[in-house]
Amino acid sequence: MKICYLSDATSSHTRKWCSFFLSKGYEVIVISLGDAKIEGCKVFSFGVKDFAKKSDFNKLFSYTTKIKKIRKIIEEEKPDIIHAHYATSYGVLASMLKIHPYILSFWGSDVYDFPNRSILHRTMLKYNIRSSDYIMSTSENMKREIEKYTKKDIIVTPFGVDINKFKPLKLERDNNFTVGSIKSFYKIYGLDYLIKGFKIFIDRTANSNAKLLLAGKGIEENNLKRLVRELYLEKNVEFLGFLNVDKVVETFNKIDVAVFPSESESFGVAAVEAQACGVPTIVSNVGGLPEATNPGKSSIVIEPKNEFEIAKALEDLYKNKEKRLEMGTNGREYVLEKYNIDDNFNYVDSIYRKIIEEKE
């Protein structure tokens, strides 16, 4: 089988898809607007720089100028499966190619944000959906959002984690109660509320030695550091920067509670990673976050933009070590049952095979 992904080659998610299907012995090619290499894959990239900074209409012009070359690549490579990832960029490319059948995968902001910008944006999204032959969503919540724009069947294909990599480890660690979050530093992820909630927690419990570890990078970093200074938390909060996968696993294993206070979230892979490492989670009641956890068993669900609920949940888990440990164990079991990435991708593989059978 030869698979063609229309997807961002710089994305870690794209690389995970490629890695799995390469391990199955399939040939994988990637057509990407940005430049990147993926080991084992033939990557066709178009050197588009600062893509995220371009206006939507400049992006659309960028797509149209690439169609002829992309069609030629597909004609020469003759893939068995064409799979476009992200409905409002690579989905545009796929719809313009007019090559069938093809799969369209939604990632999040392409349905939660993009169609709300204007009527034109909604029209564009609906066109891309109509043009596709199969639609995939990583969560039930996102499926419900997509259903606002189509009556087509939507296949839910959860995006799990490598349970052999993300697992509990025996590490030397700080004895202080440690809270953590590993997310990009963007407003939408609500990390300012986490910092405020952590401050309230310290004041309520008089636990001046508690730690908060924040890993990631993004445009809100300076604002978050300023907030830490304003709340006199410099000795309690540590910014770890961007972490590679091994460091992510190590960091989750050094914390007592992982917090994901997002204002919007299509699914919540980081919450799945934390649970796979045996860590209880606190998550916002938005998007797919509750679905990514097992509320009441492995997670405490709070309302978004609410530092007081964060503080209350932290205090609960701080004072109840047995509950904390039980929730961590439950989280690991929940991930083994629902979000083992091999099981998730094998399900996608079965869909690929069915599509090929239908073509024949």
pLDDT tens profile 244-260: 999 999 999 999 999 99
The DSSP code sequence of 126-187 is HHHHHH-SEEEESSHHHHHHHTTS--S--EE----B-TTTSS-------SS-EEEEE----G
Residue 12 confidence class, pLDDT cut points 50, 70, 90: confident
Cβ–Cβ < 8 Å for 146, 111: yes
For a pLDDT cut of 90, what percent of the chain falls above it?
Answer: 79
Q: How far apart are CA 313 and CA 280, in angstroms?
A: 11
pLDDT tens profile 302-355: 999 999 999 999 999 999 999 999 999 999 999 999 999 999 999 999 999 999
Model pTM? Answer: 0.85
Cβ–Cβ < 8 Å for 191, 181: yes
Of the candidates 227, 249, 228, 246, the one whose C-alpha atom is nearest the C-alpha of residue 238 is: 228
